[in-house]
Copies of this chain bind each other. A is one copy, B any other.
Amino acid sequence: MTVTATQTTPDLYPSRVAPEPILAERRDPVLHGEPAGALSRYQRDRFEADGFLAFPGFFSGDEVRELQREAERLRNLDELRGRDDVITEPESDEIRSVFRIHRTSEVFDRLTRDPRILAKAREILGGDVYIHQSRINYKPGFRGKEFYWHSDFETWHVEDGMPRMRAISCSIALTPNYGFNGPLMLVPGSHRYFLSCVGETPEEHYKESLKKQEVGVPDPEGLETLIELGGGIAVPEGPAGSITLFECNTMHGSASNITPFPRTNLFVVYNSVENALVEPFSGQRPRPEYLGERGEPAPLEPAA
Which residues of A are in contact with B by a Cβ distance under 8 Å? Answer: 141-142, 146, 148-149, 178-180, 182, 185, 220, 223-224, 227, 233, 235, 253-260
Determine the chain B residues whose CB is within 8 A of the CB of A142 once the complex forms: 220, 223
B224 and A260 within 8 A (CB): yes
Q: How many copies of the shown chain assemble into the complex?
A: 2
List 17 additional contacts besides A148-B258, A179-B235, A255-B255; criterion CB under 8 Å.
A142-B220, A142-B223, A146-B146, A146-B255, A146-B258, A179-B180, A180-B235, A180-B255, A185-B258, A220-B260, A223-B260, A233-B259, A253-B258, A254-B258, A255-B256, A255-B257, A255-B258
**Which residue of chain B is the closest to A141 with respect to CB atoms?**
B220
Interface of A is mostly: loop
Expressed in whole angstroms, the Cα–Cα distance for A203 and B179 within the complex equals: 37
Closest B residue to A259 by CB, please name it: B233
Docked complex Cα distance between A205 and B48 (Å): 53
Contacts of A182 in B (CB 8 A): 255
Show 25 A/B contacts (Cβ-Cβ < 8 Å), sorted by A. Answer: A142-B220, A142-B223, A146-B255, A146-B256, A148-B258, A149-B258, A179-B180, A179-B235, A180-B185, A180-B233, A180-B235, A182-B255, A185-B258, A220-B260, A223-B260, A224-B260, A227-B260, A233-B259, A253-B258, A254-B258, A255-B255, A255-B256, A255-B257, A255-B258, A256-B256
How far is B220's CA from A146's CA once the two chains are assembled, in angstroms?
A: 19
Given the complex, which residues of B lie within 8 Å of A258, measured CB to CB? 146, 148-149, 185, 253-255
Cα A223 to Cα B258 with chains together (Å): 11
A44 and B148 alpha carbons, distance in the complex (Å): 41
Q: How far is the CB of A298 from chain B (nearest CB, A)?
A: 37
CB <8 Å contact, B185 and A259: yes
Q: Report the separation of the CA atoms of residues A179 and B179 in the bound assembly, to the nearest whole angstrom.
A: 6
- Closest A-B pairs by Cβ, 10 of them: A179-B179, A256-B256, A255-B255, A224-B260, A146-B256, A255-B256, A142-B220, A253-B258, A180-B233, A180-B235
Which one of A182, A224, A233, A257 has the greatest number of beta carbons of chain B within 10 Å? A233
A148: chain B residues at CB < 8 Å are: 258
Give chain B residues whose Cβ lies under 8 Å from the Cβ of A233.
178, 180, 259
C-alpha gap A263/B220 in the complex (Å)? 16
* A178 neighbours in B (Cβ, 8 Å): 233
Residues of chain B lying within 8 A (CB to CB) of residue A257: 255
Q: Find the B residue at minimum CB distance from A149.
A: B258
- What's the nearest-Cβ distance from chain B to residue A5, in Å? 39
Taking the closest CB of chain B, its distance from the CB of A235, in whole angstroms, is 6
A92 to chain B, nearest CB (A): 13
Chain B residues in 8 Å Cβ range of A220: 141-142, 260
Instruction: Determine the residue in chain B with the shortest Cβ distance to A226.
Output: B260
Minimum C-beta distance from A184 to chain B (A) = 11
